[in-house]
């Protein structure tokens, strides 16, 4: 029997495609799911700290694009630059 495929979602800050929840669900507010890649937390970084996804992305890139999570490992052959470009285009704007 096939296991149901759970839809994954993209981080609005770094483009990581493996989030379990929609960052900004239709019910309003943020998902509160912390991106294991860049640490962006919808509902906290934006709604409380006033940091937009693009601003977080800029800061994350300036900091060297470190993998955030201690519990969730980065995918094999993970490329932060490739991920950002795939999600947001060249320059990651």
**Of positions 2, 4, 50, 90, contacts another protein by CB under 8 A:** 50
64 is an interface residue for another protein by CB under 8 A: no
**Of positions 17, 43, 61, 67, contacts another protein by CB under 8 A:** 43
Q: Is 71 helix (H, G, I), strand (E, B) or coil?
A: coil
48 is an interface residue for another protein by CB under 8 A: yes
20 is an interface residue for another protein by CB under 8 A: yes
Q: How many CA within 13 A on the CB side of residue 25?
A: 10
- Binding residues for another protein, per CB under 8 A? 20, 25-29, 31-34, 36, 39, 41, 43-44, 47-50, 68-72
């Amino acid at each position: 029997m096939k296991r149901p495929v759970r839809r994954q979602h993209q981080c609005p800050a770094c483009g990581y495609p493996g989030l379990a929840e929609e960052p900004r669900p239709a019910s309003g507010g943020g998902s509160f799911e912390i991106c294991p890649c860049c640490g962006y937390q919808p509902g906290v970084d934006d709604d409380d700290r006033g940091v937009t996804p693009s601003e977080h992305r800029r800061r994350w890139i300036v900091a060297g694009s470190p993998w955030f999570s201690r519990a969730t490992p980065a995918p094999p052959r993970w490329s932060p630059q490739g991920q950002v470009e795939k999600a947001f285009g060249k320059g990651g704007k």
